[in-house]
Amino acid sequence: MLSGAEHQLKLQEALNTNDLNRFRQITAKAAVFLLKGQDVKEHMKDVPVCKKNRSWENEQLHSLEERGRLLLSLQFLPPISPDDADADGGGGGGEGRRSGGLCVGVKRCAHLAAMDVNGFSDPYVKIYLKPDIQKKSKHKTAVMKKTLNPEFNEEFFYEISLSELSKKTLEVTVWDHDLGRSNDFIGGVCFSCRSQGDALRHWMDCLKNKGRQVERWHVLTNELPRTFGHD
């Protein structure tokens, strides 16, 4: 027989779980309406933005180990019509842009975890856009030697429609390069309509604001996504 306090605790846990599931469902639905050019305000008004969800999110973040921070830019570049390409003087160089797609800018990292005995790391960044059946979406930056605050300033482009992009997950991870043995995972962050916190806000801002570059810092955590290898 549950006491009054225990019963209240069970009820509170159920409310937290239900609110979180409802938040994910409504957010995914809002993304679909957004892509159709419809107003999402009516569909977002029921999102349970309350202390319960913020507390749950904070608990999840505190359960992970922070491994540094990453400055990333996201920009969906809309398709360019042949007329627009000609007006801009785009000859052969404009062909890759006509279908539109996602531009990912890997800017820099700060305060990365030291993975080597010398107190530094040799970091590089790896990005995937998943699911990736043909395994062609992997990109890597150059390796920066002996630093915990690397500057990359590299951009990568994925040719994809906005509707398809809304179903994808962008996985960004930072690794320590080691010669002759497996590279060490430093930390990572995932972006999709099912993400949480800053990652979700960054992703949705990218989908909503076609043509606009959205740049934000993100915390890298030590949770290794299941599908990652050490290549």
pLDDT tier for residue 29 given thresholds of 50, 70 and 90: low
Where does 64-221 sit in CATH, by number?
A: 2.60.40.150
Domain assignments of the chain as residue spans, ordered by start: 4-56, 64-221
Of the listed ranges 47-56, 141-150, 185-194, 217-226, the least confidently predicted one is: 47-56
Tens of pLDDT along 37-73?
Answer: 554 445 445 544 444 455 545 555 555 678 999 999 9
What is the pLDDT at residue 133?
A: 79
Q: What percent of the chain has pLDDT over 90?
A: 53
Task: Please count the other Cβ atoms lying within 10 Å of the Cβ belonging to residue 122.
Answer: 20
Q: Which two tokens stand for residue 127?
A: 């990005």
**Is residue 191 within 8 Å of 166, Cβ to Cβ?**
no
Omega cis (within 30) before 225: no
Dump strand ranges (E) for the chain: 66-77, 101-110, 123-130, 139-140, 151-159, 169-176, 184-191, 214-221
Q: Which two tokens stand for residue 45?
A: 């008004």
If one compares 142 and 50, the residue with the highest pLDDT of the two is: 142
Q: Is the pLDDT of residue 25 over 70?
A: no
Q: Which residues contact 190 (CB under 8 A, 6 or more apart)?
A: 169, 170, 171, 172, 199, 225
Tens of pLDDT along 144-159?
Answer: 999 999 999 999 999 9
Residue 176 phi, psi dihedral angles, 5° rounding: -100, 120
* CA distance linking residue 55 with residue 49, whole number of Å: 11
Task: Please count the other Cβ atoms lying within 10 Å of the Cβ belonging to residue 145.
Answer: 11
Task: Give the position of tokens 């906005």.
Answer: 162
Of the listed ranges 9-13, 128-132, 152-156, 189-193, the least confidently predicted one is: 9-13
* CA distance linking residue 129 with residue 102, whole number of Å: 10
What is the pLDDT at residue 53?
A: 54
Q: Is 82 exposed, middle or buried (0-12, 13-18, 19+ CB in 10 A)?
A: exposed
pLDDT tier for residue 92 given thresholds of 50, 70 and 90: very low
Tens of pLDDT along 153-181?
Answer: 999 999 999 999 999 999 999 999 998 88
What is the pLDDT at residue 57?
A: 54
What is the pLDDT at residue 44?
A: 46
Residue at 164: amino acid letter? E
pTM above 0.75, yes or no: no
Q: Which two tokens stand for residue 131?
A: 């699911």
